[in-house]
Amino acid sequence: MPSASNGDSAKPAARLPAPLEWIARPLARLSVSHFNLRAGLTSDSLISVLLIAAGIWIGNMRPALAALTVLCGLFAFTFIEYAAHRWLFHGNTGPFKTGHDHHHDNPLGYDALPFFMPPLFMCALGALFALVLPAGYALLLAGVIAAGYAAYGLSHVVIHVHRFKSPLMRRWVGFHNIHHFHPEANFGVTTGLWDVILGTRYKRQPRHAPGHA
Ligand SMILES: [Zn+2]
Ligand SMILES: [Zn+2]
């Protein structure tokens, strides 16, 4: 998924119609730049704060329901993170896969979604939620999902650039590092929850004794 090398850069697919190439090429260049990575980490955090603040401001929310909305948003984000990584970035084809492949080739690269895309997506999500929820709760829910995404982006950068001393943190970092060696496992980045639920958590292969098949 997207990060310091969120990996989800929008590199153009092999052959696109000419008008799309005009859009895809600059986006592809942007998505591998250091500027885009920094701008993305900033705008992801900013949009989450703005959406949550707007939700509270419009609000009139009941504290218990607001707390439930926050929990639902965090839970929903963990699945979005897992699903996007497993089925979009490791899908069969497409620009997301191309960008993510770059991240797997070079985990310290700057591959990431164009910085303005996730905030636009989060705003659209808020508008969508507002069709079925009161506006305050809709914005809060979208804001919490956006906060999860921002945390994911920062986590992914930290995982690849920082060396932790704490055994707990090393274990957490190791979960994603294993994914880089075994791309069919460990799709969660901030949490391995859905890998456990859906059976994609990496399992160490038992070693065979010499002389045994
Ligand atoms: Zn990675
Ligand atoms: Zn991956």
> Over the chain (213 residues), what is each successive 10-residue block's mean pLDDT?
43 58 80 88 96 92 94 97 94 81 88 89 96 96 97 95 95 96 96 97 78 50
Cβ contact 10:27 at 8 Å: yes
Q: Which domain holds residue 55?
A: 18-198
Cβ contact 129:51 at 8 Å: no
Cβ contact 140:52 at 8 Å: yes
CA-to-CA distance for 12 and 5, rounded, in angstroms?
17
- On whether residue 77 sits in a domain, the answer given is yes
Ligand with the closest atom to the CA of 159: 1
- On whether residue 4 sits in a domain, the answer given is no
CA-to-CA distance for 118 and 130, rounded, in angstroms?
18
In the chain, what is the greatest distance between 2 CA atoms, to the nearest angstrom?
A: 70
Ligand with the closest atom to the CA of 100: 2
> How close is the Cα of 33 to the center of ligand 1, in Å?
17
- On whether residue 105 sits in a domain, the answer given is yes
pLDDT of the residue at 1: 47
Structural domains in the chain (count): 1
- On whether residue 81 sits in a domain, the answer given is yes
pLDDT of the residue at 6: 44
- On whether residue 141 sits in a domain, the answer given is yes
Residues 6 or more apart from 76 whose CB is under 8 A from it? 141, 145
- On whether residue 213 sits in a domain, the answer given is no
- On whether residue 95 sits in a domain, the answer given is yes
Ligand with the closest atom to the CA of 107: 1
> How close is the Cα of 180 to the center of ligand 1, in Å?
7
CA 193 to chain centre: 15
Cβ contact 30:9 at 8 Å: no
pLDDT of the residue at 211: 53
- On whether residue 124 sits in a domain, the answer given is yes
> How close is the Cα of 104 to the center of ligand 2, in Å?
6
pLDDT of the residue at 208: 67
Q: Is the pTM of this model over 0.75?
A: yes
What are 103's two structure tokens?
Answer: 């991240």
> How close is the Cα of 185 to the center of ligand 1, in Å?
12
